[in-house]
Amino acid sequence: VFSEVNDSAAKGNLSFPKTPRTHVRLRFSTTHLNEACEDIFTDEVARGLLEDVGKLCFDTLKFTSVAGVAQSPITMHFCILERKRHLLADLQLTGLITETEPLQKRLQSFMSAVDGSYKNVPYHNASHACDVMMGVDWVFQSNYIQDHMTTMDHLMSLIAAAIHDAGHPGTNNFFQINTMSQAAVTYNDKSVLENMHVSMAFDMMRRDPDSNWFEMLQDGNQRTYI
């Protein structure tokens, strides 16, 4: 598919499709986010859907439409998965972090920013990111992966899934290159959108210190995951 926004777009066509609008999403404080998570667990429909977390049959689209999830789906999915897998608690037990709360606050602030970066395009949207997050979590339930990967790997993989299409415009790399988009020029036609997604994630942390969870990692872990 050449473009999610304009099916008639063709090679060499320099008429850009209308830029998709970004969803306006709520940005929670840590306290309000924890309260929102508790509300989700008391919602009958959501509670039924959450029984399938960790299974391939989990209905991401239906869950992201639940009131309380729809406005910040990536943030809510991340918080639910982190809670269920006790990722930060395990990192503390292994000595990789000294406290869970400071890192939790920054991760939640970061995920809220990631939520706001996704645009209302037909496929590469926030619901897609949530679906990939759930798929990644399912992979980490296999005995083989658990024997060969760490809790930090699990956490980083969920974050990577969350950001992997951040800011996606709904057009592919071929379109970016042939229309000489700003992203194509910036990244010299090399993995244009992929570079853009990662760059956006680091820029979110650079612009907002409260979202910069990466600087809280030990230097060795930073070098491993860059």
Residue range 29-43, pLDDT digits in tens: 555 666 767 778 788
* pLDDT the model gives residue 43: 84
Of 23, 32, 77, 124, which is the active-site residue?
124
pLDDT of residue 19: 44
Q: Which two tokens stand for residue 148?
A: 């060969």
Whether 128 has a binding-site annotation, put simply, is: yes
Residues with pLDDT less than 70, the chain: 1-34, 36, 220, 223, 226
Residue 77 is assigned to a ligand binding site:
no
Domains contained in the chain, CATH given: 30-225 (1.10.1300.10)
Contact 72, 112 (CB under 8 A): yes
168 assigned to active site: no
**DSSP-derived secondary structure for 71-89:** TSHHHHHHHHHHHHHTHHH
**Predicted model pTM:** 0.85
